[in-house]
Amino acid sequence: MNLDLKIKNLLLICLIFLGVFHQYHSQSKPLEGFKTGADQPEVYLPLLKGKTIGVVTNQTGLMSDRTHVVDFLVKNGIKIKSIFAPEHGFRGDADAGEKVKNGVDVKTGIPIISLYGNNKKPKPDQLKGIDIVVFDIQDVGVRFYTYISTLTYLMEAGAENNVEVMVLDRPNPHDGYIDGPVLNKKWTSFVGMHEVPVVYGLTIGEYGKMVNGEKWLEKGAQAKYTLIPMKDYHKKLRYPMLEKPSPNLPNEKSVNLYPSLCFFEGTQVSVGRGTDLPFQIYGSPWTKSLPYQFTPKPNFGAKDPFLNGKLCYGENLSDYPQDLRELNIEWVIKTYQNYKNRELGFFLKPSSGKNFWFDTLAGNDTLRKQIIAGKSIHEIKASWKPGLEKFEKIRKKYVIYED
């Protein structure tokens, strides 16, 4: 090896080392003083002493030492009347859309009430005798992820029954940017209750402030809302999750790709449920021109996955750059263009009188029509701009962390 080549290689090694060091240094430095809402009991315990409370939480309600917030509150003499469990259940092991049952927490003996299925909003008798409901869940910052809808229904019930709502804030893995189509009120559903874009750039605590402040609750009601903010949190940084938020979002890679790949849930395309790479791969039996192959099969996170047992052809994105800070619609457009099935349309057909599921996820029927019409990515994204600009004026009123 000549001297010039040696010097070049040494310089390359130094640059790689410095790049890696800088990456980890910049990510770890603010973590020195960082604390979630749950990790600041000195702030919220005095507010709960002598009160009867409910807790909306799941397996993500952990403190930094992995103590569950319910166990911590019980240990500190806080009287918990009920645990309210969102989609996926209290322990987080229910598949998406699966019925979550009421029951009793084996560890504490506290009754568990499901806030999914037919009881998405706490009933007056379920809140009777409760002074404060504490909400502590790891959200993922995407409109069609249902924990923000659970918070909205909780706030409505709180306003109607004079029960305070206290949110222990947590990081948003898609914070610091907004993207995607803004929901049209016509497409309001449990996977989209408010006129916000797919990625809205607020922590769940800030989101609750916005819902309250903009009077988006039923009949313009406002809840008594207390936010326990995080300490030393920065929106543009990414923080490791203590626990997976749901069975098919097992790690940061899946969460990173989720806003872009979830659109496939409204099509004849699998997003890898029933594989080891949910929300990291996509494919269909009718896209044979795409390179990657996989076969969905029942597993812990998907008891009967979409396209169960069928060989799918698609793409593996598990090595995609970790921090995707925009919505990628290239994958949906590419798959639509490669889809070949005369009997089944690409977009899942609705039951009579109902919207396409794709439209419900998008928050309008415009995106589906744009894809069918062959509009370019640039044209589609340009059509989102007016809605995003209007939303940003609302959003910035409720930002409490460095943006």
Give the number of other CB atoms < 10 A from CB of residue 290.
Answer: 18
| Average pLDDT for 184-207 | 97
So what's the pLDDT on residue 355?
84
What average pLDDT does this structure show over 76-104? 72
Residue 9: is its pLDDT beyond 60?
A: no
CB atoms within 10 A of CB 135: 28
C-alpha distances (whole Å) from 157 to each of 57, 106, 148, 271, 292 are 16, 27, 14, 35, 47
- Give the mean pLDDT of 371-398: 98
Q: What is the pLDDT of residue 301?
A: 82
Residue 98 has pLDDT above 50, yes or no: no
Residues 314-357 pLDDT 10s:
999 999 987 889 999 999 999 999 999 989 999 998 776 678 99
* Bridge pairing between strands 197-199 and 179-182: antiparallel
- Quick one: pLDDT at residue 15? 38
Q: What does the pLDDT read at residue 106?
A: 80
Q: Flag whether pLDDT at 4 surpasses 80.
A: no
Give the CB-side neighbour count of residue 307, counting CA atoms within 13 A. 24
H-state helical runs in 272-376: 330-338, 357-362, 366-372
The predicted-structure confidence for 257-309, as pLDDT tens digits, reads as follows 999 999 999 999 999 999 999 999 999 999 999 999 999 999 988 889 999 99
Residue 170 has pLDDT above 50, yes or no: yes
Query: What integer pLDDT is reported at residue 101 of this predicted model?
Result: 54
pLDDT digit string, tens, across residues 113-125? 999 878 899 999 9
Mean pLDDT of 211-216: 98
Q: What is the pLDDT of residue 319?
A: 93
Per-residue model confidence (pLDDT) at position 89: 65
252-372 is classed in which CATH architecture?
Alpha-Beta Complex (3.90)
Question: What rounded mean pLDDT belongs to the chain?
Answer: 89
Alpha carbon 71 to its chain centroid, in Å, reads 25
Position 11 pLDDT exceeds 80 = no
Q: What is the mean pLDDT of the segment spanning 364-377?
A: 98
Which is the CATH superfamily of the domain at 41-228?
Answer: Uncharacterised protein PF07075, DUF1343 (3.40.50.12170)
Q: Which sequence spans correspond to the domains of the chain?
A: 41-228, 252-372
User: Comparing 41-228 with 252-372, is the CATH topology the same?
Assistant: no
Query: Tokens 């970790």 map to which residue?
Result: 322
Confidence at residue 28, expressed as pLDDT on a 0 to 100 scale: 38
Is there a contact between 110 and 80 (Cβ–Cβ < 8 Å)?
A: yes
Share of the chain above pLDDT 70, in %: 88
